[in-house]
Amino acid sequence: MQENYMQSVKAQFEYYKILGERTFEQLNEKDLFNHHNEASNSIAIIVNHIQGNMKSRWTDFLTSDGEKEWRNRDLEFEEIIKTKEELITKWNEGWECLFTALATVNENNFNTDIHIRNQKHTIVEAVNRQMMHYAYHIGQIVFIGRMIKNNEWASLSVPKGKSDAFNSQKFSKGKHKGHFTDDFK
């Protein structure tokens, strides 16, 4: 079960990473810094926050608290990123840290207690906590991108009005194994 869980987690994180990247591909540099209003975050600010969170949570994942002393969470919500290139670099640094940490989890350490802000988590709880946090923010990124692109938005999943065709294609394969995200990679 542990191996199956970790494989599923990796596939799910890869899917969320792809959703963000496919959104970035549809946007120009100016779009990444667009604020709907003073209280809202731009995509660049959300990426800066995700990267800061990932670096803190996944650095020394098995051995130190996930809220690192060197993290400055409040600064993550400032306009630190200045270019699309810098945004992509920070995005990739965060994901690299996450995937490197996940690769260290095995049957020998799967029952290790993980602490986040001094609160004990199982590995499953810690991973699920982060996965849902990133899904929340990547959903924001996709939503902002979709609003910016309006009718020019290219769907990242089953396009509107195409559910029947998608389901027909899926059912034509018969019962099979795989991760649901395989169709969107």
Number of domains in the chain: 1
Answer whether residue 75 is part of any domain: yes
173 lies in a domain? no
User: Domain limits at 43?
Assistant: 2-154
pTM of the model: 0.92
Do residues 46 and 55 lie in contact, with contact meaning Cβ atoms separated by under 8 Å?
A: no
- How far apart (Å, rounded) are the C-alpha atoms in residues 77 and 75? 5
- Asked if the structure places residue 182 within a domain, the reply is no
Q: Which helix (H) or strand (E) covers residue 115, if one does? A: strand 114-116
Token pair of 20 as six digits: 């963000």
| pLDDT tens for the 185 residues of the chain, in order | 788 999 999 999 999 999 999 999 999 999 999 999 989 999 999 999 999 999 999 999 999 999 999 999 999 999 999 999 999 999 999 999 999 999 999 999 999 999 999 999 999 999 999 999 999 999 999 999 999 999 999 999 888 888 888 778 878 888 878 777 776 66
- Assess if residue 56 is contained within a domain: yes
The CATH number covering residue 112 comes to 1.20.120.450
116 φ, ψ to 5°? -130, 115
